[in-house]
Amino acid sequence: MIGVVTRPERSAAVKEFFQLFKTPWEFFREGRAYDVVIVAGEDAPHIEAKLLLIFGSEIRRDDSKWNLTGQPERGGIFLHYRESQVPIYGNALVFDKTGAGDPCLESERGVTGVKLESGGGMVMRLGYDLFQEIQWLLSSGQPVENAHLPAIELHIAMLRDWMLEAGVAFVEIPPVPAGKYFMVSLTHDIDFIGIRDHKFDHTMWGFLYRSSVGALRDFVRGRVSFGRLIRIWRAAASLPLVFLGWVKDFWNPFDWYLQVEKNLPATYFFIPFKNRAGEKVSAGHAERRATKYDVTDLGDWTKRLQDEGCELGLHGIDAWHSVEQGRIESARIAAVAKPGRMGVRMHWLLRDENTYRVLEESGFAYDSTDGYNETIGYRAGTTQVFRPPGRSRLLELPMHIQDGALFYSNRLDLSEEEAWNRCARMIDDAMRFGGVLTLLWHDRSHGPERFWGDFYARLVGELRAMNIWFGSAGQVVEWFRKRREVAFEQGKLRVAKEGISPSLTVRVHRPGAAGENSRSTDVSWNGESELKLDEMLGKTLSPVMSP
């Protein structure tokens, strides 16, 4: 059991942290015995524990007894943890005198963590506030330059390793379904359903420019092959025939995606009203946010997509700032969607400091806007679905990899090989930390002039061959919601209200003996029967499953 001592204003961040690192914990109570005590922003209690972690970016009263001194540094440092860098956004304390302790954590500015011996346990004095970092990541998010760092998962990994190093055995429910490495959610923002609706407007002229001058430039730069260049020119030449209805509209996305994602449950976010740019749009060319289609123009596609196991969600226009519009837009999608909890991703990823409140009051079950237009990565620093600060029901499914961010010339502008390497690193992160990898591929990205479909098909094929679980956005969020409902009570796992499918992984960590590595055992649990944690920790278990 972990006991936590912190300031009242950090209590919400503590609770969310331990939904992400799901292991037994509670706020510290006098007279209770704890294996681990975490102190952040308050004085350390006088208690014996196998591990006492004292966080804080300023010299504390307790530091004098260990003869520790240091200098506060402004935020923006990186901790060196094994082969990873962990960004610290708040202030940090760099120790200039470590007393009788041994440096255990360093940054580019010096020693940021000291290990101390105290009685029979281990004490670690760490020069930053863990829960302030979590609060910052889940509210403000990471700057683009740090997008590649899954900061929250790295904080969890450090805490887990320190517990094992101190000889603490513990139980964890990691963010992975039983027998799987991680989860994948395939999503599509539908801004166009065909080029036929765009006669002599900026979309058509932009397509022709990119298909001629732009395609030739990309060919010279080595971004497209000669064969693809010919395909682009051929598509541009066929445009009059597409307008006449004599040739299939090459921007219609649904047949192509259903073929590439066959038997995989993708999520499609649809525009509720055509010709509406929306209010409070401060970006340039705000009028171009309006679309020439809305969900009522899809005909039989909404039924066919759902018959194929896909989910329909809202690609919101004004739902990000207006509860009234959020409810109206949601109802427009609900009219053609199967009954269930509605999710949203905002058109152009618009949001402000009030958006999460607005979306929750509008009745949405989840949002999936947390991501970048400029790059790929972890805006909130996590691979997991999380609850935004201040919310009680709304969950956030972070968006990690977007096609436009990879390939647009004014964004990352990567070659396909470079893009593949960037995506491969994120797959490696998912293998290491679990959670969900959320992909966004837009409606016309498979066709001319982009032709990013081959890359996407390769990526989906690579993921399909791995031992992972594919879920729609709503299915992934629901799995995390049920994981959140599981509680550790009196040495047992509280049975969930309903069964959990796919089953959870219950992982038992045991520290190794001197000179040996720690061990872990995974047990599959569907929430329908009681699971006694003391028995799991007290005897050797044979794994029910292992990825």
Convert the pLDDT of each residue in 236-256 to its tens digit: 999 999 999 999 999 999 999
Average of per-residue pLDDT values in the chain: 92
Are 45 and 39 within 8 A, CB to CB? yes
- What's the pLDDT score for residue 514? 59
Per-residue tokens: 480: 């995390």
339 vs 329: CA distance, rounded Å? 16
Question: Do 66 and 114 reside in the same domain of the chain?
Answer: yes
- What's the pLDDT score for residue 515? 57
Residue 496 binned pLDDT confidence (cut-offs 50, 70, 90):
low
Residue 507 has pLDDT above 90, yes or no: yes
Question: Do 416 and 355 reside in the same domain of the chain?
Answer: yes
Residue 498 belongs to some domain of the structure:
yes
Count of structural domains within the chain: 4
- What's the pLDDT score for residue 540? 43
Question: Do 134 and 282 reside in the same domain of the chain?
Answer: no
Residue 537 binned pLDDT confidence (cut-offs 50, 70, 90):
confident
Question: Do 378 and 444 reside in the same domain of the chain?
Answer: yes
Please give the backbone phi and psi of residue 275, each rounded to the nearest 5 degrees, phi first: 60, 25
Residue 21 has pLDDT above 50, yes or no: yes
Question: Which DSSP letter does residue 386 get?
Answer: B
∠ CA(359), CA(362), CA(363), 5° rounding?
95
Residue 406 has a CB neighbour count (10 Å cut-off) of 23
pTM, rounded to two decimals? 0.94
Task: Indicate the SS3 state at residue 9.
Answer: helix
Question: Do 42 and 125 reside in the same domain of the chain?
Answer: yes
Q: What average pLDDT does this structure show over 21-32?
A: 93
- What's the pLDDT score for residue 248? 94
Q: What average pLDDT does this structure show over 424-433?
A: 97
Give the helix ranges, DSSP H, for 238-376.
239-244, 254-260, 301-307, 323-334, 355-362
- What's the pLDDT score for residue 73? 85
Question: Do 343 and 221 reside in the same domain of the chain?
Answer: no
What percentage of the chain exceeds 90 in pLDDT?
A: 78
Most confident segment among 89-103, 398-412, 531-545: 398-412
Helix pair angle (11-20, 151-165), 10° resolution = 80
Question: Do 531 and 451 reside in the same domain of the chain?
Answer: no
Residue 546 has pLDDT above 60, yes or no: no
Residue 284 belongs to some domain of the structure:
yes
Question: Could you tell me the CATH number of the domain that includes residue 362?
Answer: 3.20.20.370
Cα separations in angstroms, 247 against 244, 281, 289: 8, 36, 27
What percentage of the chain exceeds 70 in pLDDT?
A: 96
- The pLDDT tens digits for 446-489 are 999 999 999 999 999 999 999 999 999 999 999 999 999 998 88
Q: How far is CA 192 from the centre of its chain?
A: 26
